[in-house]
Structure 1
């Protein structure tokens, strides 16, 4: 199962549920891949399969997200598996089981998207109207873009595969593209998706607003700050639908989901689809293992009224006086996975504006996030230089997204890994290609330094 070229036909679809019933679907049974998308119903089922892969435990369910925070400096590992400690130590080996499962899960998502993109255009069912067909294609393009974005920032350049895999030999021998070319594929897919999608707001399903969000993040990574600002503004300007909720915990506490804070999140129903995050974070008294937990540095930041403010709700103590993360807490395990919150748009725009020397405007955005957290505003008197504002944004992102998968990628993309993480080997800014993939396909080459 560790091949990136393995068959992932739609007979393997898991049901994925949402409160809007979009993902309420039973698995297909005994249907060949060549016949899976023949009408409107099977096209929608295939699209649900793309979302199901995105939500899987090895992708946004747990494993991929864990790379983003375990490799940062907020989280400690309390278990005994040395492979997890590799992320904490920033010395991940090519035989690490987490990166192997993440690689397969992301390519599974890509393959399902490719299946939709290849077959939906040929469907002639009159119930699959042009508008619906465009929407399904736009959603598949967007999720494929997100998948390649995540591959690029995690592993560097990867094989770009844009046609469905139907047998093990398909796409064998494709060499890795450069990281720049992989990112170019991300933009190509987002550009293709944007005009196809509805302009409506849906927090569980891709719309044009989701593309705006991913473009703002993409352009920030590419250091195209004017465009990052532009796309973040498109979301922030839609104040009717997107807003920073007060206090901070309002977007996730008391079983909240799909709030105005959310641009795109994944719904889990806790039965047929579960988010296994809670088991890793919650202590034994709450039915978890607490195998990863906030470290002392993060606990100090979150509990400092001048830094964490009301974001201290992200952590709590168990009956043994040990701190644990509390973003994922629901039982059964139905916590959303947050792919993009409006707070990120504010902080993307703050950073982009600071990079363009719009320091007053940058502080306005930064202070909007700080105000929601119950913090006092920063001023040009205390944050007077471009570097000072950028550092303030970096620090704010650390606590705002303390238990979300941003910290490692933020520090790497800004070139500050040596200063912040003491990462002296620049090769370690990307993770190794999983050894199973190298053994499966001799066309793949390992990243330098591994």
Structure 2
């Protein structure tokens, strides 16, 4: 398999190539088969796994940009062709942004595979079984999230579950079906939940983090009772997770790891979050090549719809008068967290699951908890269809800059109605052309 070469690289896998859009940060990847020998090196490897998850090509910006630019609310203001294709929903198989995200996700998986394989076998007397379970569980969680993102982005994929030490180690593997890929996600989440401690940590996976991702998983799989169950486990943990008022309390004034956050990736001056560079205007130290479009600006600025979520956007002074996103604003440090799971999502997952199950009063209660936090009046929706549409609209604004909009429209079958895109082949991203050329066992997505 072509991606096996990535784990054998040094500090920078792409350092010798020209820097593509968003590929501005060196990979912090080592050969884990050599590095993991004791407790200290195991902890270092798992820290590196989170760095891979937060890399520029993954949650550091590029993977989320696939959803930002596809979802209809974010415009591309730059001149490069790859992101323009995404914004116009005319992606080709040689799109560099798609390729870099695909590669980054598989790099994360391959690193997790090493950790899962090596740590349980170590004989370091300082390495307790409890600690081994924790670190292995974290790797299972990250692998689950990675395969979940591949499934919702590309459909069924090749399932690589063991270490890749040589380029030919996984030759001949065909793509699994979408159902099989999702089943792997659930299997990894189950193993993670068994191994991880029942604690609260907003920057690393715990059993609660696994439960939260399970709630999202079951929502995508339309298993409403299970989505309700796992969302409730997090919502009911009021000592550790709660909606904060006003809306911007979870990110403004340099806030990090608040009670709003279930899982966020932390960054530092030496490991920067690239989002600020693409959201902020030049006057504030960025490039503003992603920007909220006029429709989203109008919704966020409507007191009856956006409420206090207008804190997500700002406008430059005349004569520019440019609207921009303010969720990622910490320049020049780039230390904004990447928000992967917030308690607000669990409320809206449970609202949708309960509406689907006909529990309309309960669904409205969860929906209105989000609306109350936003400073807007309770919803007056009174039918199942109206409540589901209200939840969709609430998710649109609540997570406007968190990369959910496109995937929400795909999973609910609403792409054609909302965006006018009727070609269902375009509801998934293309398998990168260079991967197809390098691996004859990898089949393309239809229509690309």
Q: Same fold (TM over 0.5)?
A: yes
Q: After alignment, is 224-233 or 80-89 more displaced? A: 80-89
**Separation in 2 of the partners of 1:130 and 1:13?**
33
**Separation in 1 of the partners of 2:276 and 2:134?**
33
How far does residue 170 in structure 1 lie from its aligned partner after superposition?
2.0
Counterpart residue number, 2:169:
170
3-state SS of paired residue (1:126): coil
Counterpart residue number, 1:387:
385
TM-score after normalising by structure 1: 0.94
With over 3 angstroms needed to count, the CA separation of the structure-2 counterparts of 1:33 and 1:257, relative to structure 1, is closer
Counterpart residue number, 1:243:
242
**Separation in 2 of the partners of 1:151 and 1:82?**
23
**Separation in 1 of the partners of 2:37 and 2:9?**
13
With over 3 angstroms needed to count, the CA separation of the structure-2 counterparts of 1:29 and 1:440, relative to structure 1, is closer
**Separation in 2 of the partners of 1:424 and 1:73?**
14
How far does residue 9 in structure 1 lie from its aligned partner after superposition?
4.5
Structure 2, unpaired ranges of 5+: 14-25
**Separation in 2 of the partners of 1:389 and 1:357?**
10
Determine if contact 1:10/1:46 at 8 Å carries over to the other structure: no
**Separation in 2 of the partners of 1:431 and 1:136?**
32
How far does residue 11 in structure 1 lie from its aligned partner after superposition?
5.6
Say whether 1:370 aligns with 2:368: no
**Separation in 2 of the partners of 1:13 and 1:350?**
44
With over 3 angstroms needed to count, the CA separation of the structure-2 counterparts of 1:171 and 1:220, relative to structure 1, is same
Counterpart residue number, 2:432:
434
How far does residue 35 in structure 1 lie from its aligned partner after superposition?
3.2
3-state SS of paired residue (2:75): strand
Determine if contact 1:268/1:275 at 8 Å carries over to the other structure: yes
**Separation in 2 of the partners of 1:400 and 1:29?**
32
How far does residue 48 in structure 1 lie from its aligned partner after superposition?
1.2
Determine if contact 1:36/1:42 at 8 Å carries over to the other structure: yes
Spell out structure 1 runs of 4+ moving beyond 3 A: 9-14, 27-35
Counterpart residue number, 1:233:
232
**Separation in 2 of the partners of 1:293 and 1:32?**
38
User: What does 1:23-102 correspond to in 2, within 5 Å?
Assistant: 33-102=32-101
With over 3 angstroms needed to count, the CA separation of the structure-2 counterparts of 1:31 and 1:306, relative to structure 1, is closer
Counterpart residue number, 2:312:
314
**Separation in 2 of the partners of 1:30 and 1:419?**
42
3-state SS of paired residue (1:280): helix
Counterpart residue number, 1:17:
none
Q: 1:133-180, CA deviations, whole angstroms, 9 ceiling, x for partnerless residues?
A: 000111000000000000000000110000111122221221111111
How far does residue 59 in structure 1 lie from its aligned partner after superposition?
0.3
Determine if contact 1:10/1:36 at 8 Å carries over to the other structure: no
Structure 1, unpaired ranges of 5+: 15-26
TM-score after normalising by structure 2: 0.94
3-state SS of paired residue (1:366): helix
With over 3 angstroms needed to count, the CA separation of the structure-2 counterparts of 1:29 and 1:295, relative to structure 1, is closer
> Which residue of 408, 411, 416 corresponds with 1:410?
408
With over 3 angstroms needed to count, the CA separation of the structure-2 counterparts of 1:322 and 1:443, relative to structure 1, is same
How far does residue 12 in structure 1 lie from its aligned partner after superposition?
3.7
Say whether 1:255 aligns with 2:254: yes
* Aligned-residue CA RMSD (Å): 1.8
How far does residue 365 in structure 1 lie from its aligned partner after superposition?
0.2
Counterpart residue number, 2:16:
none
Say whether 1:352 aligns with 2:353: yes
Counterpart residue number, 1:323:
323
Determine if contact 1:228/1:348 at 8 Å carries over to the other structure: yes
**Separation in 1 of the partners of 2:171 and 2:27?**
27
Q: 1:404-438, CA deviations, whole angstroms, 9 ceiling, x for partnerless residues?
A: 11000000000111111111101111011000100
Determine if contact 2:12/2:28 at 8 Å carries over to the other structure: no
With over 3 angstroms needed to count, the CA separation of the structure-2 counterparts of 1:151 and 1:415, relative to structure 1, is same
How far does residue 5 in structure 1 lie from its aligned partner after superposition?
2.1
**Separation in 2 of the partners of 1:29 and 1:111?**
14
**Separation in 1 of the partners of 2:77 and 2:270?**
29
With over 3 angstroms needed to count, the CA separation of the structure-2 counterparts of 1:34 and 1:138, relative to structure 1, is closer
Counterpart residue number, 1:448:
446
How far does residue 82 in structure 1 lie from its aligned partner after superposition?
1.9
With over 3 angstroms needed to count, the CA separation of the structure-2 counterparts of 1:395 and 1:124, relative to structure 1, is same
Determine if contact 2:9/2:29 at 8 Å carries over to the other structure: no
Determine if contact 1:7/1:166 at 8 Å carries over to the other structure: no
**Separation in 1 of the partners of 2:44 and 2:37?**
11
With over 3 angstroms needed to count, the CA separation of the structure-2 counterparts of 1:33 and 1:206, relative to structure 1, is closer
How far does residue 39 in structure 1 lie from its aligned partner after superposition?
1.0
3-state SS of paired residue (1:164): coil
**Separation in 1 of the partners of 2:282 and 2:144?**
38
